[in-house]
Amino acid sequence: MDEPLITLEDITIRLRDKFILPHTSWKITTGQHWAILGPNGAGKSSLVRVLTGDVPYVRGSITHHFREHPSEIIGYVSSELQEHLIAREKSQDMSRNFAGKLDDFEKARTTILAGAHHGSDGSPHLGRIADTLGISYLLDRGIRHLSSGEMRKVLIARALIKSPKILILDEPFAGIDAGSRKKIAESIAGLVRQGLQIILVTHRAEEIPPFISNILFIKNGKVLMQGKRNDILTTENLNRLYDRKYFDHGFTLDKRKPGAVNSASYRNGILVDMRDVSVKYGNTLVLNNLNWTVRRNENWAIVGPSGSGKSTLLSLIAGDNPQAYANEIYLFGRRRGSGESIWDIKEHIGMVSSEMQTLYRRDMAACDVVASGIFDSIGLYRNLDSEHKRQVEKWIEFFGISNIANNIFTRLSSGERRMVLLARAMVKSPELLILDEPCQGLDRENRKLFLGLIEMIGRDTDTNLLYVTHHQDELPACMDHILTLKSRNKMK
């Protein structure tokens, strides 16, 4: 115990063309388990990626007190890895279409085994790890058909397949239901008892497991404080970490939506009408004979465990799921498959989801990402008129992202990108706003800001909300209806 494992001495991290975390010193010893907290864009993920060698540093030194290469000893799980794997799968869609193999997606077991040491076979360990995490039923399912929470568990298994000494978990509980969060925390605690050391990056102090012994705070690109858990993790210190002050923007939301269809064209004011809807991927039945109606002036919360079909349900509405054509679904008064284009649907919908974040892979300014929401495009291919520019500037100012508006979107932190996508979804004041785990990746203060805005939209405008979350404390008071989905998979 207390033998040095990794030592950082007076380092400064180089992040492309800027330097962060100057003069940082940090010693990780055997038996220690660390949690790292800080606001969006503070540098948390950059710090832990220095440990793996994925982010360069200048000045100072890093000493790994073991003979193996860091990639062999350190396992790493993050939302960025999840985005990368899903984006890679999407890039194969054209090849699958030409080959006529529309369902030939990478299986979860393949994703997990890819994490093994180069040249080694992790198969003997797969069953044990899958049982530990309760994901045996997912192994032969395509990763494109996994929920965000299911995919996160698959990535943890991928990191464990090489039997690491240190496991870095960057927001591991994001997008996962309360029951699964508890199971994963228990599984990790069991691995800790077997000698695995944990470094946790999180925005939620309440999710820090009891076994975490040390805390490190990062703010404004600098280490604010570090030390033993009981000394650092106090209410006073947390308030100091998140002391961002907001001012009154004088912001008002337009009651009248650009391009909104006359309500008389909607039968009985119905926006969404699903009749005996079923969705099946291979042998997995995700939705079974679902009947659901969303009317004007209704705000719906959609809840249920990971894998219960929440994201699938939203994809049927957003026009991104081809199985919509095999079901009886009416959107904004028209049946899907009756001659409408996908743009006819998207014109009335704003959406924020983890999958949306994966679509923006090309370099473009954050302000252009916001502006692209006006045209429902992934990328900005049209010039903005004066009214469009006003809308973009107004939402950027409201979200407090003016300081990053001209930065490249893909170079922002995960939380900063989520704020940009929220502005993108709202820039056209949509008739239906779909929010799939919208607070995922947001720090404490940004969650407060966003939830206040959602409450304003749901209460004071004609925009209708469909809101998915695994955190009951993130349900705005304006949500007046609830749809609960139950998992059809046997969870262990």
Mean pLDDT is highest, among 110-124, 239-253, 267-281, for: 267-281
User: Is the domain of 236 the same as that of 288?
Assistant: no
pLDDT for 222: 93
DSSP string over 385-410: -HHHHHHHHHHHHHTT-GGGTTSBGG
User: Is the domain of 196 the same as that of 342?
Assistant: no
Q: Can you tell me the distance from the alpha carbon of 145 to that of 283, in angstroms, rounded to the nearest whole number?
A: 12
Q: Give me the domain span that covers residue 74.
A: 4-241
DSSP helix/strand/coil, 199: strand
Residue 149's pLDDT band (cuts 50, 70, 90): confident
In this prediction, residues 368-376 reach a mean pLDDT of 91
The residue behind tokens 């309500």 is 263
User: Is the domain of 179 the same as that of 110?
Assistant: yes
What CATH number is attached to the domain comprising 136? Answer: 3.40.50.300
Q: Does position 102 have pLDDT exceeding 80, yes or no?
A: no
User: Is the domain of 143 the same as that of 177?
Assistant: yes
Which pLDDT tens digit goes with each residue over 434-458? 999 888 888 888 888 888 888 888 8
For the chain, the domain total comes to 2
106 in a structural domain: yes
From 241, 275, 306, the end of a domain falls on 241
Neighbour tally for 226: CB within 10 Å: 18
* Sheet (strand 432-436) strand order: 349-352, 432-436, 464-468, 300-303, 481-484
For residue 419, count CB atoms less than 10 angstroms from its CB and return exposed for 0-12, middle for 13-18, buried for 19 or more: buried
From 241, 275, 291, the end of a domain falls on 241
Who's near 423: CB < 8 A, 6+ residues apart? 370, 373, 395, 396, 398, 399, 401
Of 268, 269, 272, 285, the closest CA to residue 328 belongs to 272
Q: Does position 101 have pLDDT exceeding 80, yes or no?
A: no
The predicted model scores a pTM of: 0.80
DSSP helix/strand/coil, 273: strand
Q: Can you tell me the distance from the alpha carbon of 216 to that of 223, in angstroms, rounded to the nearest whole number?
A: 7
pLDDT for 400: 80
In this prediction, residues 148-167 reach a mean pLDDT of 89
71 in a structural domain: yes
